[in-house]
Structure 1
């Protein structure tokens, strides 16, 4: 599945593509005709990607809620970041969104464009009533993205929780 915005193409990875992202990036780049320049595939981020392979494979029908969405800049087919819904909506219709960009692509409005498109798509699904997001207290840029996309602060604990 793909979404298109003015400057971006958002591609939901199949379980096979997700496995390539984690284990053989050059093959994924060839398959998608792109160049990966987003956040490094290492540490906790790589563990999260690997952790989504099995749930995505078990539920390809709902893979948009299990897999990662690559964010490609249309102008040069560069993968500048990724985003995901962390699971299918719960019984109350709530799902959580997460996202990240390569450092050199921050502060250009790409993530605001991405979050708006993904939230618009998600809220058009019958099973989704609300989208939530968590930010660290000191992550003002991420908080501004959520605010620009219509999220409001719902809870303050160790981190901040936002809801749309």
Structure 2
């Protein structure tokens, strides 16, 4: 778990991920949070079933790099979004992040702050030297979060911008 000025970022255990995937407020009840109206996209549901849950359950892996970290507003005592890594650092010390803010909490700076918190956490990890991310070209809010956290655009595809932040 880590804290920023307005947020708490909590990595979810395997059991908590199962509750998260139900979107029935059972996770919020376990964490003593106010209920959140959130939906799980088809893409996230598939990622949870096929990648995230199996990797978190794999005891040979560090689950912190496979699980969702829920982003909690201290003031509202609610989940406002999620952030995750796409696996452990590679041989060059790179990790990739992904994130999402629930609709009612967008445009309030929560994810910019959460990504900043993840960057600070990553700086304390000896195996991490840089952070990667990809954003859809039309998702201005998503890549603005990265720009505000000093990421540099390192390339693009037809639909995506690719980003990198060197931390060491």
Give the alignment's TM-score, normalised by structure 2: 0.90
Q: Does 1:68 align with 2:76?
A: no
Q: Does 1:163 align with 2:151?
A: no
Aligned residue number for residue 83 of structure 1: 83
SS at match of 2:155: strand
User: How many positions carry a matched residue from both structures?
Assistant: 163
Normalized per residue, the structure richer in helix is 1
Structure 2 gaps, min length 5: none
Following superposition, the deviation at residue 104 of structure 1 comes to: 1.4
User: Is 1:38–1:79's contact at 8 Å kept on the other side of the alignment?
Assistant: no
Aligned residue number for residue 135 of structure 1: 135
SS at match of 1:71: strand
- Find runs of 4+ consecutive structure 1 residues off by over 6 angstroms: none
Aligned residue number for residue 97 of structure 2: 97
Give the alignment's TM-score, normalised by structure 1: 0.92
Structure 1 gaps, min length 5: none
SS at match of 1:20: helix
Aligned residue number for residue 21 of structure 2: 22
Q: Which 10-residue stretch deviates more, 32-41 or 6-15? A: 32-41
Q: Does 1:117 align with 2:111?
A: no
Q: Deviations over 1:22-79 (max 9, x none)?
A: 1364321221011353641241122222331110111486211100000111112111
C-alpha RMSD over aligned residues: 1.7
Give the whole-Å Cα distance in 2 for the aligned partners of 1:60 and 1:118: 23
Q: Does 1:150 align with 2:146?
A: no
